[in-house]
Amino acid sequence: MSNKHIVILSGDGIGPEIMAEGEKVLAAVNSKFKLGLSWEHQLLGGCAIDAHGVPLPDVTLDAARKAQAVLLAAVGGPKWDAIERSIRPERGLLKIRSELNLFANLRPAILYPQLASASSLKPEIVAGLDILIVRELTGGIYFGQPRGVRTLENGERQGYNTDVYSESEIRRIAHVAFQLAMQRNRKVCSIDKANVLEVTELWKEVTTEVGKEYPEVQLSHMYVDNAAMQLVRNPKQFDVIVTGNLFGDILSDEAAMLTGSIGMLPSASLDQSKKGMYEPCHGSAPDIAGKGVANPLATILSVAMMLRYTFNEEAAARAIEVAVGKVLDQELRTPDIYTEGTKKVGTKEMGDAVVAAL
């Protein structure tokens, strides 16, 4: 195994179809840029349940631990919906994320100008949009204790959760955001609700302290309610947004919708040493699985993110993104991004076109 090793998890549904195209592009850049990358395939999700009875077999987890990056398509589907909750496909996904300690979730919202008409917002508001949401993924209210539903003395039930962040958790995600901003337009907007939530008051204080270590980066703070408005009013004001688990979950989906197509959006989840898991934002799309029509571009763009963030191969990453732009210029469109007057193509033709453009 080389020290630039990748574990590929094709998963379920459209997963194997879109990953085949992602792998083609990976092989093409690997030879063109002499990257020296190697990779192997393992099972995760429903396919792993079928083969081993569990969604995350030890062999997959061991391989993922040893590799520098994991490339995942998507898991799940109706075939496994009725099985016991603790061994459903999604459990495998949550487990691999926590086992690998992937605390930084990077969700870019990029709108290729060629697809501006796919957005529900006016083209002039979103064309050329390029923002990066950095969401803390392993802390906050989704994991905080105590949590539960209790019965009060008067017999009424009460649900409760705890939003908790320690200074070190805030500090490490803030560093990730500032370092990423240094590679981009050098602006970080930290999102909080510091006027009402003490936990985010600390969040604001600590991000401000960390910001002093990055004098070239302009730091601003925004309340989450205002951020939700600004994302639809004037999204291009943002470069990097950093926020906690709950606000990040909501804002990253809102930002994704600005771009119009879920089939175009990659994501990354990183650990302290920039080891990462890279995957499209969408699911396994069982409704179109096996039809050869799924959009492979989110997976192909996930390969680009992997080259940039884990392997520091900016030129190769950029080449993939430029190739995707060229294919869109040629007006090739899978059905999910098709508009009248463009050329409808299938999954494989789209992947082949990206390789040709490379």
Question: Interface with ligand NAD by CB under 6 A: which residues?
Answer: 14, 18, 74-77, 90, 93, 262-263, 279, 282-288, 294-295, 298, 336
Which residue, 57 or 77, has its beta carbon nearer to ligand NAD? Answer: 77
Closer of 282 and 308 to ligand NAD (Cβ): 282
Q: Which of 225, 287, 329, 343 is catalytic?
A: 225
Minimum distance from CB of 81 to ligand NAD (Å)?
A: 7
Q: Which helix (H) or strand (E) holds 326?
A: helix 314-329
DSSP 186: S
The long-range contacts involving 28-32, CB below 8 angstroms and separated by at least 24 positions, are: 28/355, 28/358, 29/303, 29/307, 29/316, 29/319, 29/320, 29/358, 32/316, 32/319, 32/358
- Residue 326 catalytic? no
* C-alpha dist (Å) from residue 187 to 175, 246, 290: 13, 22, 42
Q: Which residue in 12, 163, 192, 193 is the catalytic one? A: 193
Close Cβ partners of 241 (under 8 Å, ≥ 6 residues apart): 131, 132, 133, 134, 188, 189, 190, 191, 227, 251, 255
Give the active site residue among 249, 275, 309, 336: 249
The question of whether 193 is a catalytic residue gets the answer: yes
Report the nearest approach of ligand NAD to the CB of residue 268 (Å).
Answer: 13
Least distance (Å) between residue 25 CB and ligand NAD: 15
Determine the 3-state secondary structure of 210 from DSSP: helix
Contact (CB, 8 A) for 20 and 349: no
Nearer to ligand NAD, 174 or 258 (CB): 258
Q: Which is nearer to ligand NAD, 200 or 269 (CB)?
A: 269
Count of CA atoms in the C-beta half-sphere (13 A) of 73: 33
CB of 290 to ligand NAD, least distance (A): 12
Q: Which is nearer to ligand NAD, 75 or 227 (CB)?
A: 75
**How many angstroms separate the CA atoms of 225 and 2, rounded?**
47
SS3 content of the chain, % helix, strand, coil (to 5): 45, 20, 35
- Asked if 274 is an active-site residue, the reply is no
Q: In angstroms, give the least distance from the CB of 36 to ligand NAD.
A: 29
CB of 80 to ligand NAD, least distance (A): 8
Question: Judged by CB, which is closer to ligand NAD: 174, or 354?
Answer: 354
The answer to whether 142 is a known catalytic residue is yes
For the question of residue 253 being annotated catalytic, the response is yes
Helix H or strand E segment including 252: helix 245-258
Q: Among 4, 79, 130, 142, which one carries the catalytic annotation?
A: 142
Instruction: Give me the residue whose beta carbon is nearest to ligand NAD.
Output: 283
DSSP state string for 289-302: TTTT----HHHHHH
Catalytically active residues, by annotation: 142, 193, 225, 249, 253
